[in-house]
Structure 1
Amino acid sequence: MRIVTVPRREEGNMVDWIYDEIVLAADVVSRNGWKSVRSNSKEAKALSALLRRGALHAGADLPANFRSVASIQRKTADLETARPGYQGKATRGNRLDRIVIVQFEQDPTGMQQRASMIRRLLEEGEELPMSVGDADDYGDEGGLVEFVGRRRERDPKLRSRKLDAVEASGLPIACEVCSFDFGERYGSRGKGYIEVHHRHPLHVTGATRTHLDELALLCANCHRMCHRGDWITPDSLRAIMHAEVASRSAP
């Protein structure tokens, strides 16, 4: 029989785990053979770093030990011991733990996809999952995952106006960081295609009046790199890329 070690509960204000957080923790446990992870594991450190950004608890007064690696170990232990068939003594979890476990048991692939979606949105920082208190706010339709979320309001006309302005200036519709041109690479299928990025993310600026100069044209790869982890500007990413190229070409 496997004995699960659970760290002592930390002192301070406890913040209840919400559905999206538990889905992420259950994804870690399911990929670990339905075994909890230690606080010093790379999985616990990665999940702690992601959740400690606090995006799922926007506006809340979070304690210093919020979603520490110890709390990640404890929550994954809750999930392991609450799973049907566990032979030892269950730890103290909550109702959502059991709901999420059932969902993973019934649709493991779909729930792992849902976890990947939540993780990606949190890493990008612009479109955040809605904090929900009940798993009933989510539903599956047509074999795909229906995701209930919220996103920053955008002006759909800004993209076309930005592209028109770039073309009028005689510049190519290409990535401002790496110069990738979809039209050159993919011909008519890629002509005029590019992703439009806010140089300063809307989740940082909040409600604002956006000027065309505040928009950058980026390929999908550079767009992701700007948002990965702590966001950086396209200019900063270009400097990183040039420095990397220079270091590789140096004798």
Structure 2
Amino acid sequence: MILALDLYFRSNLSQIDKNDEEVIKLSKILNSLHIHSNVPDESLFRNPNGVKMKLANFMRFDKSKSAGLARGGKLEELIWNEFAYRSDYLRKVALSIMNNIASIPEFGIPDEEEEEFSEGTVLFRRHKIIERNRKVVTEVKAKALAEGNLRCKVCKFDFFKEYGEIGYGYIECHHTIPVSEYTNGMKTKAKDLALVCSNCHRMLHRRRPWLTIDNLLNLTGKTKTF
């Protein structure tokens, strides 16, 4: 839907044709994504006519258009409200999705966080791949452990102090680069990872655009000490 909305604004479509070159191109891209557990009919799924209908459905929210189809799903409205009034961000997210399609694994069982991720499945999975980069994450954790700083950068929660041996060496990593800036072949750098507890990690992802570490520190009334 993000890619469809991006096309909607880029084309400034007054007449939507299933034979339009960009509509056909988007149909092929959508069908190349391995993010669906069940495709009922590959000949109909995300075909050019389906893309055309999706673009037409967006017209019902567009006050600059005189007419649009009075149907569609709730998700279309959510995507419109999220991105339609932030055209620059919409374009960045769409380009980021396109840049990262090839690096996304095939369908897996989505978790609750993926379903809440408004930038979509492709960027959510790319984000998780980056945060789980074993080599860099291990490096960041080992350095913090050696310095006695293996605790949440926001709330200072220490898993070892709270849970004993079972919590030794445990903490989560948050990738601080916005998903709209993800590029193909992007390398994970230690300086782009922040050590956080599970609660603060979810809160960083709770708002769009994401909160920064400093934003969350301000909300909690805490100050940065390391």
**TM class, shorter-length:** 0.3 to 0.5
Normalising by structure 1, we get a TM-score of 0.43
Q: Would you tell me which structure has more helix in proportion to its own residues?
A: 2
Higher Cα radius of gyration: 1
Normalising by structure 2, we get a TM-score of 0.46
Q: Would you tell me which structure has more strand in proportion to its own residues?
A: 1
